[in-house]
């Protein structure tokens, strides 16, 4: 167990994992491209599946499309089993779950050309901290194993079918393509824009065409939140955002110094034009020094905690908290408060454990990660500590 492994710690864009709940629904039988399988009465899919086999012949991967799902249609490239296990998403939509988020009209954002970055989204009015700016649907999802197991030229055929069968293929085809490794247009679009996600318990990549227009910043003013029950992604403001300001998210976990950031961002094939990456050398050095110190103290705190030196862990964690504000590391507060709660909990200091658990939960609730901060959520957090640290002290 790792002290940083808590539910505040979801990285901002190194795309978080969407874990679909094990729902108790009747599973349709896996459907593939066998001639007897289509037309299929009452099929959840609007097109007959198109399939290819893995190079070793052991696994079939198919394209499944429901062109009426969401604003642009939904295509998945996956195994017949995962597709069968994912039909409940479509049922959820029919039940109205997906449409319950009503965002104010007109939208609070618009797409513009941003010098040096291609397209980007800017706000059309002032946005309050934690306010929801937009909600987007997964439009294309691809099993990660498919990308390595099916021979490339056959794989590209399926990817193109998956996009062409969408109601709005253009929303995908028009996306940025800045990856240097890709040999195919859709592969490039996926490499430039997709998030990691889980579908039916299996790792997939997922494309959210509107979210994909949001550029990266090291001190981002917005963050992503996943809604596993609908596979939607919501973008919320991390701080107050002025009208006309560009909306940004961090593509990598926050808090890394310049050289580490450059290395992580190099997979997107761009040299970062965010304010911190472009800051004068002295400013960048000062920031790197603080970020290095924070990284080190977070590490010390974990090690002290794991070695049973709780008071030392507490001291390091307090120092971390004091260093977060100058670097605008807002996403890390809830995580650090939760760590404080965890340490006090293992020290059997119930009053302080509750105080910090509440501080963490209030932030998480405000940010939309948990439904509310109340006694039940505090008890859930403590039960998690008990499970993870039980018997350690
Ligand atoms: C997910 S897309 C973002 C939207 C993209 N600008 C577009 O025109 O569709 C990622 C690509 O945007 C560009 N980009 C994103 N953030 C950037 C930044 N901070 N500086 C420069 N380019 C950036 C890079 O080309 C990157 O590969």
The string of pLDDT tens digits covering residues 269-291 is 788 888 888 899 999 999 999 99
CATH number, domain at 206? 2.170.270.10
Angstrom distance (rounded) from CA 113 to CA 119: 4
The three-point CA angle 95-99-104 to 5° equals 160
What pLDDT, in 10s, does the model give residues 96-127? 555 445 566 789 999 999 998 999 999 999 99
Of 248, 265, 292, the one marking the end of a domain is 248
Do 184 and 95 belong together in one domain?
yes
Which tokens belong to 326? 């100058």
5 lies in a domain?
A: no
pLDDT band (50, 70, 90) for residue 295: very high
Residue 393, CA atoms < 13 Å, CB-side half-sphere: 19
What's the pLDDT score for residue 393?
A: 45
229 lies in a domain?
A: yes
Per the structure, the complete domain to which residue 345 belongs is given by 281-389
ipTM, interface predicted TM-score of the complex = 0.99
Burial class (CB in 10 A: 0-12, 13-18, 19+), 33: middle
What's the pLDDT score for residue 40?
A: 77
**Please, where are the H alpha helices in the chain?**
80-85, 87-94, 144-149, 152-164, 170-173, 185-193, 258-265, 281-306, 310-324, 331-346, 350-366, 375-389
For ligand 1, the distance from its centroid to the CA atom of residue 257, given in whole angstroms, is: 20
Q: Is the pLDDT of residue 167 over 70?
A: yes
What's the pLDDT score for residue 5?
A: 29
14 lies in a domain?
A: no
What pLDDT, in 10s, does the model give residues 319-344? 999 999 988 898 899 999 999 999 99
Q: Read off the pTM.
A: 0.85
Q: Which residue has the higher pLDDT, 196 or 165?
A: 165
Angstrom distance (rounded) from CA 287 to CA 316: 19
CATH number, domain at 347? 1.25.40.10
381 lies in a domain?
A: yes
Do 236 and 297 belong together in one domain?
no
Average pLDDT over residues 205-209: 95
Do 244 and 285 belong together in one domain?
no
Q: Is 141 touching ligand 1 by the criterion CB < 6 Å?
A: no
Do 232 and 310 belong together in one domain?
no
The total number of structural domains that make up the chain: 2
Q: Which residue has the least CA distance to atom 24 on ligand 1?
A: 270
Q: Is 177 touching ligand 1 by the criterion CB < 6 Å?
A: no
Q: Is the pLDDT of residue 24 over 70?
A: no
3-class SS of residue 385 = helix
- 3-state secondary structure labels for all residues of 316-383: HHHHHHHHHHHHCCCHHHHHHHHHHHHHHHHCCCHHHHHHHHHHHHHHHHHCCCCCCCCHHHHHHHHH
Angstrom distance (rounded) from CA 54 to CA 202: 16
For ligand 1, the distance from its centroid to the CA atom of residue 289, given in whole angstroms, is: 27
For ligand 1, the distance from its centroid to the CA atom of residue 8, given in whole angstroms, is: 26
Ligand 1 atom with least separation from CA of 216: 16
What's the pLDDT score for residue 390?
A: 64
What pLDDT, in 10s, does the model give residues 37-84? 787 777 889 999 999 999 999 999 999 999 999 999 999 999 999 999
Do 213 and 297 belong together in one domain?
no
H/E element holding 101? none
What's the pLDDT score for residue 98?
A: 52
């Amino acid at each position: 167990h790792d002290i940083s492994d808590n539910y505040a710690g979801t990285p901002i864009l190194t795309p978080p994992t969407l874990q679909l709940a094990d729902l108790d629904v009747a599973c349709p039988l896996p459907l593939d491209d066998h001639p007897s399988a289509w037309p299929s009465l009452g099929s959840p899919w609007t097109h007959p599946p198109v399939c290819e086999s893995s190079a070793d012949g052991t696994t079939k991967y198919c394209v499944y499309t429901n062109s009426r799902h969401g604003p642009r249609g939904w295509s998945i490239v996956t195994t017949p089993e995962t597709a069968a296990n994912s039909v409940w998403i479509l049922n959820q939509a029919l039940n109205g779950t997906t449409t319950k988020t009503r965002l104010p009209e007109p939208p609070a954002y618009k797409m513009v050309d941003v010098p040096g970055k291609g397209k980007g989204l800017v706000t059309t009015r002032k946005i309050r901290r934690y306010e929801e700016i937009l909600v987007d649907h997964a439009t294309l999802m691809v099993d990660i194993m498919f990308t390595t197991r099916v021979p490339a030229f056959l794989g590209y055929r399926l990817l193109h079918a998956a996009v062409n069968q969408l109601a709005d293929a253009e929303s995908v085809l028009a996306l940025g393509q800045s990856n240097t490794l890709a040999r195919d247009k859709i592969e490039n679009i996926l490499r430039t824009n997709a998030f990691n996600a889980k579908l039916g318990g299996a790792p997939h990549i997922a494309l959210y065409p509107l979210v994909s227009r949001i550029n990266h910043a090291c001190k981002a003013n917005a963050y992503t939140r996943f809604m596993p029950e609908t596979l939607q992604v919501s973008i919320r403001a991390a701080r107050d955002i002025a009208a006309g300001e560009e909306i940004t998210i961090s593509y990598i976990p926050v808090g890394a110094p310049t050289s580490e950031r450059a290395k992580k961002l190099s997979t997107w094939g761009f040299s970062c034009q965010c304010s911190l990456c472009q800051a004068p050398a002295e400013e960048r050095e000062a920031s790197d020094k603080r970020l290095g110190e924070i990284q080190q103290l977070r590490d010390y705190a974990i090690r002290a905690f794991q070695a049973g030196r709780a008071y030392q862990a507490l001291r390091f964690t307090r120092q971390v908290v004091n260093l977060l504000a100058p670097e605008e590391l807002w996403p890390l507060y809830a995580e650090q408060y939760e760590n404080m709660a965890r340490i006090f909990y293992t020290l059997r200091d119930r009053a302080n454990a509750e105080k910090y658990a509440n501080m963490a939960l209030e932030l998480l609730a405000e940010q939309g990660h948990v439904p509310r901060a109340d006694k039940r959520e505090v008890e859930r957090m403590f039960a998690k500590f008990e499970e993870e640290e039980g018997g350690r002290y």
